[in-house]
Amino acid sequence: MSRKSKIILIVGSVIFCLDRLTKILVARDMAPGESLRVIRGFFNITLVHNTGAAFGIMAYAPEGLRLPFLLVSAVAAVLLLLYFAGKTDGNETLTLVALAMVIGGAAGNIADRITLGYVIDFIDWHAGDFYHWPAFNIADSGITVGVFMLGYEFLVRKKTG
């Protein structure tokens, strides 16, 4: 197995497995909408069944349209990312790790959509009553961090390197 394949497999699997494990634990012990305060005024664990995409986009679209669209879009994105990973030089570690994080996160949310019809979100950040970020999960975190890493790689490092 090539170095490139190992990076994609290991990093993607870690994100996927952490996402699945945390979702199982939260869903096992909490009811939808139930919240556990971790840091008052800042962080809760709140079980949310997200039927939409990021930030609940398409949550109210008919399920017969929403679920197939979101599944096909996510699978197409993973296949495209795998294609880019295949075209990436094996020495571009940051790019490979970033792609793997996005792939692992997307796979975690795809698994939810296939098995449940929705995505389990539970990380609930807020700034007192001033601002409340939409709930998210480890998969979303992997996707977000991976996208920022790719942005850094392509917008900053490529200019200076």
The catalytic residue positions are 121, 140
Q: What is the largest CA-CA distance in the chain?
A: 51
**Around Cβ 101, how many Cβ atoms within 10 Å?**
26
| Secondary structure element (H or E) that encloses residue 94, with its range | helix 93-116
Helix (H) or strand (E) holding 7: helix 3-29
How far apart, in whole angstroms, are the C-alpha atoms of residue 130 and residue 34? Answer: 21
Q: Is 33 left (phi over 0), alpha (psi -120 to 50) or beta?
A: left
* Nearest residue to 113 via CA among 30, 18, 23, 26: 23
